[in-house]
């Protein structure tokens, strides 16, 4: 990590060294309360995704506003959040490999831990490890509801796995994971509605097949920032996993919102400095690939529509400018990352700003927790 | 970072937790010696780029094999290497921003430090900071030799900056940075030769303009893994900055090699596990965007030409498989990252393997050193 921090609490925002990951606290808090408002009066639980922020300070704020727990993707991420006092963590992923299971079971003895399965062999390995370490954990069957990634086919295949989980005394069959990742970034409300209608039918079919075997499906969990009002209103899903609503990725902002959608604000930025101004038509900034993930497109320049961040190399960003007066050496820009999750994962700290001042520095404690 | 490491020294490679960053020490050492052989008998210096590895253990091995120092891109990276005992570090970048200069000057009092400039205002700021902190440092004029990123135009513009550097007692005019980044990945030897011929003419023109003002150009530095034999043989460049030759990115391997080019081997891999096998045509591995940078394309699957890593999400990789027997749950694959530099920056440790055993674990000490 950097031998010195980008900023200290109390600094003026102009004193923040760059590139730095900036959280606009006013926008962030508005996003938190918009999500709370969107779920108030419903019986749908929120279990926001910690893979977006990897930050216990943020998870604690989500819990304080009513989240039942958080999601993560990796056992090592779960460990960071459990160590920070989060009592209920769902790993929304298959956990495969003999090195991982002892860590998983150690966590399951200290907190409520859930994992996903989509194959009998995963269940057998979990059952054996749980028995050996005298742990118990929640196990969810992942159903492929249209994303074409992990998960079993809806219906009988899901029921078979549920039954196998139920047959192990160390495992609790907790419900169904029905997350439709591919639907999150469909641009039109109609496309998203269609995708989630299909996902909901898959969930219903799987639930019925399991109930036909005399088992209960307590939780049907899924949804992301792009689609959660649809799952909320489905009458089928009873838990939502959205994470990006906190920050609002540049890519998410390109979704057209429908009547039921919630307007979130950009709250996460990369602050960068113009370090070279080699021509009237271009400026070079000090934030490149290692400062903002470009997998979902280049970052946008915040509130400077005339500027375009066109190209990233490792430590340089090329910003095209309409004329020579558009930017000067040393000028600072706020970039909106195309994809916040992998961008946060590049930083050790989030510099939290309110107005002109740095109000807090939050560690990205699970940054790099890949295992 | 992860609360536990992926491996320990002495582990069998099958025990390494995934995803993990693997260095094949035999291939790595062969690459180091191939580069030494390529420069032996010449008077051209090697100053390899530390932005590729961010690892003092590797920098020390490069120094032991004759490197004159290393390059980095950031002041905070330089600090990590100076703290680790590297006595001579060139920051191949403009350093702009009042927060950065005190750190830069503190380093310049402890080691030989160089920086680039391409604007008079940068020189004035460096001169004032060096004077204030009683430091002195090497300053190179960056010439735009064709990459169209940073740098001044060749010739008179470069000479003006050189003269301005020379006018400050705290600054040493050290030479010219003539790196042609855009040439590194041109696929054919002929295209690369043409680009570096142009770069060389720009260097010659700039050198002549500076010498005409009575100054000496001690160093002309540049080159990368894609083109360094051309700069080596130019009769003009006397220092090379290649870095990726250590690891050999997937993207670099797509360059067609000419007669003078050196064959390097893939030495850096991401080890990953099949965590889901939802269909005969696809397997899901546990290495996604946060485990291998995809800015230069998806990773390749090492020595398994029948498998294609087709799509990455944050923590998942989708591998297409020709049939159901191609892969099983728990199988492990080695991925060749498309772009090694930002991939290394995702990890805290490099797991160094020789044959079947983990021989060493090297910290990526400058990981995340963005400032």
DSSP states along B137-178: EEEEEEB-SSS-SS-BPTTHHHHHHHHHHHT-TTEEEEEEE-
Q: Pairing between strand A88-94 and A112-117? A: parallel
Q: Which of A4, A294, A371 sits opposite B371 (nearest CB)?
A: A4
Average pLDDT over residues A339-368: 98
CB contact under 8 A, B346 and A345: yes
Instruction: Tell me: pLDDT of B178 over 90.
Output: yes
Interfacial A residues in 19-58 facing B (CB < 8 Å)? 19-20, 51
- The pLDDT value given to residue A149: 95
pTM of the full predicted structure?
Answer: 0.97
Q: 3-class SS at B333? A: strand
Fold of B49-242: TIM Barrel (3.20.20)
Residues in contact with A113: Cβ distance below 8 Å, sequence separation at least 6, in sequence order = A78, A82, A89, A90, A91, A104, A107, A137, A138
Structurally, at CATH architecture level, domain A13-21+264-363 sits in Beta Barrel (2.40)
| CA–CA min distance B80, chain A (Å) | 7
DSSP states along B210-266: HHTTT----EEEE--TTTHHHHHTSSS--EE---GGGT--TTGGGSPP-TT------
* Cβ neighbours of A346 in B, within 8 Å: 345-346, 368, 370
CB contact under 8 A, B293 and A291: no
Strand-pairing partners, residue A271, are: A20, A334
Same fold yes or no, A13-21+264-363 and A26-247: no
Interfacial B residues in 323-362 facing A (CB < 8 Å)? 329-330, 339, 341-342, 345-348
Q: Give the span between the Cα atoms of B192 and A42, in whole angstroms.
A: 63
Q: Which of B370, B369, B363, B330 is nearest to B55 (CA)?
A: B363
Residue A1 confidence class, pLDDT cut points 50, 70, 90: confident
The per-residue pLDDT for range A229-258, each reduced to its tens digit, is 999 999 999 999 999 999 999 888 899 999
Interfacial A residues in 282-301 facing B (CB < 8 Å)? 282, 284, 286, 289-291, 293-295
Q: Which of A94, A151, A329 sits opposite B119 (nearest CB)?
A: A329
From residue B32, alpha-carbon distances to A360, B24, B39, B57, B67 in Å are 45, 12, 11, 13, 11
| CA–CA min distance B355, chain A (Å) | 20
Centre a 10 Å sphere on the Cβ of residue A316 and count the other Cβ atoms it contains.
Answer: 23
Tell me whether A14 touches chain B (CB under 8 Å): no
CATH code for residues A26-247 = 3.20.20.10
One-letter-per-residue 3-state SS of B11-40: CEHHHCCCCEEEEEHHHHHHHHHHHHHHHC
- The pLDDT value given to residue B1: 86
Residues in contact with B271: Cβ distance below 8 Å, sequence separation at least 6, in sequence order = B13, B16, B18, B19, B20, B21, B22, B332, B333, B334, B335, B351
Interfacial A residues in 51-90 facing B (CB < 8 Å)? 51, 73-74, 76, 79-80, 83
Q: Give the span between the Cα atoms of A298 and A286, in whole angstroms.
A: 14
CB contact under 8 A, B1 and A368: yes
The per-residue pLDDT for range A94-122, each reduced to its tens digit, is 999 999 999 999 999 999 999 999 999 99
Average pLDDT over residues B317-336: 96
The per-residue pLDDT for range A10-67, each reduced to its tens digit, is 999 999 999 999 999 999 999 999 999 999 999 999 999 999 999 999 999 999 999 9
Instruction: Tell me: pLDDT of B251 over 90.
Output: no
Q: Do B140 and B165 meet the contact criterion of CB atoms below 8 Å apart?
A: no
- The pLDDT value given to residue A169: 95
Interfacial A residues in 179-208 facing B (CB < 8 Å)? 181
The per-residue pLDDT for range B82-133, each reduced to its tens digit, is 999 999 999 999 999 999 999 999 999 999 999 999 999 999 999 999 999 9
Give the start-to-end residue ranges of the domains of chain A: 13-21+264-363, 26-247
Q: Which of B94, B99, B315 sits opposite A17 (nearest CB)?
A: B99
- The pLDDT value given to residue A251: 87
Inter-chain Cβ pairs, chain A and chain B, closer than 8 A: 204
Interface confidence: ipTM more than 0.90? yes
Residues recorded for chain B = 371
Q: Do B60 and B85 meet the contact criterion of CB atoms below 8 Å apart?
A: yes
> In this structure, what token pair is assigned to residue B87?
């006595």
| CA–CA min distance B335, chain A (Å) | 15
> In this structure, what token pair is assigned to residue B42?
């010449």
């Amino acid at each position: 990590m950097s031998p010195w921090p980008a900023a200290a609490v109390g600094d003026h925002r102009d004193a923040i060294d760059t590139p730095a990951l900036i959280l606009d606290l006013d926008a962030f808090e508005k996003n938190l309360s918009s999500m709370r408002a969107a779920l108030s009066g419903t019986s749908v639980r929120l279990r926001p995704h910690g893979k977006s922020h990897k930050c216990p300070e943020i998870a604690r704020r989500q819990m304080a506003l009513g989240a039942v727990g958080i999601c993560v993707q990796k056992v090592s991420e779960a460990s960071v959040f459990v160590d920070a006092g989060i009592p209920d963590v769902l790993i929304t992923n298959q956990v495969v490999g003999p090195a991982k299971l002892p860590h998983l079971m150690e966590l399951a003895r200290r907190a409520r831990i859930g994992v996903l399965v989509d194959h009998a062999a995963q269940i057998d390995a979990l059952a054996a490890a749980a028995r050996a370490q005298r742990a118990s954990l929640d196990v969810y069957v992942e159903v492929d509801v249209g994303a074409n990634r992990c998960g079993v086919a809806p219906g009988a295949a899901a029921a078979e796995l549920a039954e196998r989980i139920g047959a192990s005394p160390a495992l609790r069959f907790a419900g169904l994971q029905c997350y439709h990742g591919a639907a999150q970034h469909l641009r039109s409300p109609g496309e998203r509605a269609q995708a989630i209608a299909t996902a909901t039918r898959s969930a219903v079919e799987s639930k019925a097949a399991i109930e036909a075997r005399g088992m209960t499906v307590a939780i049907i969990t899924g949804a992301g920032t792009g689609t959660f009002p649809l799952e909320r209103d489905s009458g089928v899903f009873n838990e939502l996993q959205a994470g990006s609503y906190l920050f609002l990725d540049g890519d998410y902002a390109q979704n057209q919102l429908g009547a039921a959608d919630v307007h979130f604000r950009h709250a996460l930025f990369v602050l960068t400095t113009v370090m070279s101004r080699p021509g009237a038509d271009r400026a070079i900034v000090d934030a490149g690939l290692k400062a903002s993930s470009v997998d979902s497109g280049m970052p946008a320049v915040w509130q400077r529509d005339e500027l375009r961040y066109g190209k990233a190399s490792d430590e340089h960003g090329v910003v095209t400018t309409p004329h020579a007066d558009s930017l000067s050496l040393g000028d600072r820009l706020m970039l909106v990352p195309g994809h916040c999750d992998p961008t946060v994962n590049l930083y050790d700290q989030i510099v939290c700003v309110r107005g002109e001042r740095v109000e807090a520095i939050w560690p990205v404690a699970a940054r790099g927790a890949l295992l």
